[in-house]
């Protein structure tokens, strides 16, 4: 394990006030939830072709249209996500597909993509 990775882990333990295995599990669950949420946002950004608030580069009539809440089952347990919507209803999330509530197993793919420094676009491959 590299020195940098050890330093990052120590910082996570200290910042997260982690004292037990349960604390670590809860912390990782929150990080995973945040990563999924960001991936969903990035997917919609790719679908629409412009960043949130970037009206200058908007080249479509379609736009963001709020969120719908969805409870999904993962290896970390159940978690509530805010699934972004588009006005035209064309957005089909890949990371958390429509009509799918059990996404167990995606954790390894997400972690490996982020560990290699890849973006959400690589999930489509």
DSSP string over 65-102: EEEEEEEEEETTEEEEEEEEEETTS----SSS-TT--B
What pLDDT is recorded for position 124? 44
Rg of the chain over CA atoms, in angstroms? 17
pTM of the model: 0.75
Q: Low-confidence residues of the chain, pLDDT below 50?
A: 119-125
Per-residue confidence (pLDDT) for residue 9, from 0 to 100: 80
């Amino acid at each position: 394990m590299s020195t940098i990775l050890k330093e990052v882990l120590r910082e996570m333990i200290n910042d997260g006030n982690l004292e037990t295995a349960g604390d670590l599990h809860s912390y990782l669950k929150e990080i995973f939830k945040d990563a999924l949420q960001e991936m969903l946002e990035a997917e919609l950004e790719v679908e629409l072709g412009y960043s949130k608030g970037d009206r200058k580069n908007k080249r479509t009539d379609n736009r963001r249209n709020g969120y719908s809440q969805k409870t999904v089952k993962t290896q970390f347990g159940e978690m509530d996500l805010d699934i972004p919507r588009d006005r035209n209803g064309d957005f089909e999330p890949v990371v958390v597909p429509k009509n799918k509530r059990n996404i167990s197993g995606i954790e390894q793919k997400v972690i490996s993509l982020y560990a290699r420094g890849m973006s959400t676009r690589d999930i489509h491959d």
